[in-house]
Every structure is written in C-alpha cells, then in structure tokens.
Amino acid sequence: MNFSQNFDKTAQGYIHSIETGGMVDGPGIRYVVFFSGCPLRCKYCHNPDTWKMKSGKLKTVEEIIKDALKYKNYLRFSGGGMTITGGEPFMQPKFMAELLKAARANGIHTAVDTSGYAAHSTVSEALDYTDLLLLDIKSINPDTFQNVAGVPIHRTLDLLEAANHKRIPVWIRFVLVPGLTDNVEDMKKMADFLRPYRNIEKIEVLPFHKMGEYKWEELGMDYELHDTPSPTAEQLDLAKSILAK
C-alpha cells in the first residue's frame, strides 16, 4: 500500500482498542483509536479498563494508519476521519503527534477527544496536527471537578486556551450527572466562562449513564454512582438551555 510518510512510522504506543465505524466522536463516520493510560479517576468513567497503560497492546503508527486507510473512502464520504481518544491520549503525546501527522499526511481529518489533562510542554506538537478538539470539562467549579476526576482543573483550561491560541475548533463535552454536576449556578458560570472563546463550535450535554458499571465490577472496583439515576429530559433541556447561551 502506498501512503505519505511524512511522519515516524516506527513510533509505538499502547492501544486499548480500535473502532472502525464510530458515530459519536466527532463529525461523520470515525476511525476511533482508544489509547491506554489515564491519570484521571472519574467517578462515572465507562472505560476504567483503559486506565493502565500497559494493559493495552503495542502498535506502530504504520500499523494503525495502514488499517485506517482501508476505510478512507467511507470516512471522507461521510465527512468523518480519525479520532484519538482513551484513556487519556496526552499520556502518550509523542506517539499521538506522530499518528496525527500520519493521518493528516494521508488526507484524513483528525480529532482528539481529551480530558485536557496534559502537561504544557506536550501540547503544542499534537495540536499542530489536530483539526478538531473534543474537550471534556467535568465542571467549571474547581472543587466539583476535583471530586469528579481526582485531578485539578487548571490543565484542562490551559489546553482550551492553547487551542484558542492556535485557532483550533473545539467541541465542549459536559456530562450531566444528577447530584454531582447539575448545579445550576455552576452551569451558568461555565456558560459565562466559555462565552469569549470564538473557537468553540459546539457544546454537547451528555446524559450520565451506567453502561460501564459492569467493567468496574469485573475489575473489582467500587462504583460510587450505583444509585445515581440518569438525568430526566427536563434536566437535560435545562442544562442545554443554560450552556447554549
């Protein structure tokens, strides 16, 4: 197979899994690469099996891009592309940058789905090859963010600022969890905070679900949100109306 090689095809990274027909991680049909490794411990995480880096399988950029190119026509026809997610992809920043370069060099739209928990020194190169940033903001309230994710908020906001500086389109993702992230005043503050960022194209309010609870059980971990319900339609509508402003 012939493909552009303006990247390090031998770069290796730990991959948890690959989905070839993703429909929810960016526009169009997506080739979704799930990286292994994550420093966050989100209470509602539906992929706790991605937390450990070396639980994944080592793959090279060449292996992944050759496979992705099998689907290139479908991706382009649908307005889709490749999405790198996890886990937290910025745990493997050099590998991610090379994979993004490979996709870009071969005419594939690139998206990065991230919590934003990235060291400042690792951000720039990857963002240079990112066409769309999907940024998960747990809450604008620092205490709530820390409670949900187990890490502070500042790196997430720093990444948003870096994307704004590079004029990279951003979709904000916010998971609405009753009793945890649904404080109305906090959502209003988030809307106020995000309003000046002209690179934000969309804010997605995602309803909390427990479809990953069984994975916690299989891993022998306590799932704290066992009794937390999914948000009602009215709660979702309220959150959407606040953040739409």
What are 97-109's pLDDT values in tens digits? 999 999 999 999 9
Q: Give the start-end residues of each E strand in 11-97.
A: 12-22, 30-35, 57-60, 81-85
Please tell me the chain's helix, strand, coil percentages from 3-state DSSP, rounded to the nearest 5.
40, 20, 40
Q: In what order do the strands lie in the sheet with 170-176?
A: 57-60, 12-22, 30-35, 81-85, 109-114, 132-136, 170-176, 200-207
Q: CATH 1.10.1040.10: does it fit domain 12-244?
A: no
- 107-159 pLDDT, tens digit each: 999 999 999 999 888 899 999 999 999 999 999 999 999 999 999 999 999 99
- 177-235 pLDDT, tens digit each: 999 999 999 999 999 999 999 999 999 999 999 888 999 999 999 999 999 999 999 99
Identify the pLDDT of residue 3: 53
Calculate mean pLDDT across residues 169-177: 98
The secondary structure of residue 68, as a DSSP letter, is: H
Identify the pLDDT of residue 114: 97
Domain segments of the chain as ranges: 12-244
The secondary structure of residue 186, as a DSSP letter, is: H
In contact, 8 and 61? CB cutoff 8 Å:
yes
Reply yes or no on whether the pLDDT at 5 is more than 70: no
Identify the pLDDT of residue 2: 47
- 9-28 pLDDT, tens digit each: 999 999 999 999 999 999 99
- Please give the model's pTM, rounded to 2 decimal places: 0.94
Q: What six digits make up the tokens of 36?
A: 């292994």
Report how far residue 49's alpha carbon sits from residue 127's, in angstroms, rounded to the nearest whole number.
26
Report how far residue 52's alpha carbon sits from residue 65's, in angstroms, rounded to the nearest whole number.
24
Identify the pLDDT of residue 86: 92
The secondary structure of residue 24, as a DSSP letter, is: S
Identify the pLDDT of residue 174: 98
Reply yes or no on whether the pLDDT at 1 is more than 60: no
Identify the pLDDT of residue 245: 76
Calculate mean pLDDT across residues 72-94: 95
